[in-house]
Amino acid sequence: MGKPNIPRPRWPGRLSRRLFLQRAGWLGGAGLAATVLSGCGGGGSSGAAVGRVPVSDDPDTGGDAAQVFPHGVASGDPLQDRVILWTHVLPAASNAGESIAVTWDLALDPDMRMPVAAGNTVARAERDFTVKVDVTGLQPGTTYYYRFTARNRQSVTGRTRTLPVGATDRLRMAVVSCASLPHGFFNAYDRIAQRADLDLVVHLGDYLYEYPGRGVSEAENPDEYGDGRAIGRAPEPPHEIITLDDYRTRHACYKLDPDLQALHRQHPMICVWDDHESTNDSYIDGAQNHNPERGEGDWPSRKARAIQAYYEWLPIRQTPGADEARIYRQFALGDLVDLFMLDTRLLAREQPGEPALAVPGLPAGAFTDSGDIARPRDLLGPAQTDWLDAGLTGSQARWKLLGQQVMFGQLKVLGAANALNLQNPGGQGGAFLNPDQWDGYPRAREQVWRIIRGGQPAPAVAVDNVVVLTGDIHTSWAMDLTEDPNNLVAYNPLTGTGALGVEFVTPSVTSPGLDELSGVGEPALMTQNPHMKYINLSEHGYMLLDITPERIQTEWWFVDRLDAPDDGETLAAVAVTQSGSRHVVVGGQASAPAADPPALAP
Ligand SMILES: [Fe+2]
């Protein structure tokens, strides 16, 4: 995330001893207790390839699944007939360099008495002993249960679900991003895990952070991604991750978290990276937090290592025939939703420009849309733009969801019609805040507007019901999407007339919010940005989307606290966009859970 002014996290609430002990591992699964309470690995790990959980040479007697499968199970990238199943196998100390035989089985019931499929695979050192199986031949819209066996141990049972085909009258999904281990407990993940009626979880990135336990550097900003030791959540390794083993160790560290394991165990995930899975504010040929002069090597190599570890440790399917850097992909959820997962970070993003600073008196970093910022600058790149154009134009689904990283709609600290807008050449432009988001790439954004308009001049709309889902900024937003929000001739903020779509931004799971944005609070931001319908700059949690052919209802659920395991959550806001309206209306009650959801995995 490219930042405006990030304050320290808040630690509200009081400790729930029962929950703390339960999730820390003391009340069951004793094998994880020591590792979770000490951060990730507890130090002193002997296996260089696994590096985080002490390996055991005693797989045949006693113990539990955590001795061989300490990182749980996961599933992801469901299609109508297939889904990726994932686990990691801990090798014995005596054969840490060898392959391990693994079997998997899949059934229709949580007790695994109605088997559907089974098979063999191998956990190899070259993939860090991670296992990925693409199980095919499945039925659409169906819940399955699965488990792995290796070294005479059985994993926990996971639950997953294929995508529907044809007429689909309702879907429910959670949307998350930005989970910093040292900043708190992943209570939001556990709240989502307990919702049995979800079809899937969309993760928009910052699944982990690259920083050391004490931040970017003590001199630069000692508190930004602070020390998690006070709550037993200092990440491993205890330094910025650079090497392949560093990236693998950090993934393994995060996957010891019991709330993250619960999320993966109960729901299939469709994920994409943001910047911190490689390093802060990354782009195609560099990153803000990459410096070869500090011994961090060349960027292409580091980026390749980050991508390799990501594909090893996330339940994601590699696009056939493409290299691992091509993460953008499309999912068809019956006739209700086409979901497009985009990459705005590693594949094509050019280095941000040097925006012309706004007039004195505005918050630091505020910039105008004149000068270098207006230069054509890739964000999606030509290949991904063409792919998105073909996908959106050809979509027959009611809703087109774009899952992506950085805020798409404009964010100004001084509202005025755009100067850059060719339809408004006399506009004063106002002042933007964050060149890391699409505001820093106005020509790339114009390409998406052009796709939605079908190449026609405004107000034509060729691709209707576009809904952008965004993470990265650690805060909650709902807005109409329009080319020039402050141009009230072209856009009516009361009715949405003139808008081209809507955007919903999910808060962080734990990463610090923006109690105020460069000195500008929520009311002022709402005033300067008439297309914004909801803003919360401080709370943490997740978005729940309840989707029908008539409307999408988005709910912001905030957790009560971060400093300890806790089950409390509050519905903070509801926003609805009606089909064909291209307009967000805030208000309403929580959506009803789906009737008779499939049983959670045991
Ligand atoms: Fe983040």
- CA of 302 from ligand 1 middle (Å) equals 19
- CA of 451 from ligand 1 middle (Å) equals 28
Tens-digit pLDDT profile for residues 176-221: 999 999 999 999 999 999 999 999 999 999 999 998 854 544 445 5
- CA of 563 from ligand 1 middle (Å) equals 18
- In SS3 terms, 441-454 reads as CHHHHHHHHHHHHC
- pLDDT tier at 353 (50, 70, 90 boundaries)? confident
Give residues with Cβ within 8 angstroms of 15, minimum separation 6.
563, 564
- CA of 125 from ligand 1 middle (Å) equals 30
- CA of 2 from ligand 1 middle (Å) equals 9
- CA of 177 from ligand 1 middle (Å) equals 7
- CA of 474 from ligand 1 middle (Å) equals 6
Tens-digit pLDDT profile for residues 442-456: 999 999 999 999 999
Half-sphere exposure of 588 (CA within 13 A, CB side): 17
- CA of 206 from ligand 1 middle (Å) equals 5
- CA of 570 from ligand 1 middle (Å) equals 22
Tens-digit pLDDT profile for residues 87-123: 999 998 776 678 999 999 999 999 999 999 999 999 9
Residues 85 and 73: beta-carbon distance below 8 Å? yes
Give residues with Cβ within 8 angstroms of 196, minimum separation 6.
266, 597, 598, 599, 600
pLDDT the model gives residue 274: 97
- CA of 69 from ligand 1 middle (Å) equals 28
Query: Is 19's pLDDT higher than 80?
Result: no
- CA of 578 from ligand 1 middle (Å) equals 30
- CA of 294 from ligand 1 middle (Å) equals 23
* Strand pairing category for 532-536 and 412-414: unpaired
pLDDT the model gives residue 340: 98
**Hey, CA dihedral for 449, 450, 453, 459, is it positive or negative?**
positive
d(C-alpha 521, C-alpha 162), whole Å: 42
- CA of 1 from ligand 1 middle (Å) equals 6
pLDDT the model gives residue 66: 80
- CA of 381 from ligand 1 middle (Å) equals 23
d(C-alpha 501, C-alpha 82), whole Å: 31
- What six digits make up the tokens of 501? 């779509």
- CA of 542 from ligand 1 middle (Å) equals 13
pLDDT the model gives residue 219: 47
Calculate the average pLDDT of the chain.
Answer: 87
- CA of 555 from ligand 1 middle (Å) equals 20
pTM: 0.91
- CA of 187 from ligand 1 middle (Å) equals 16
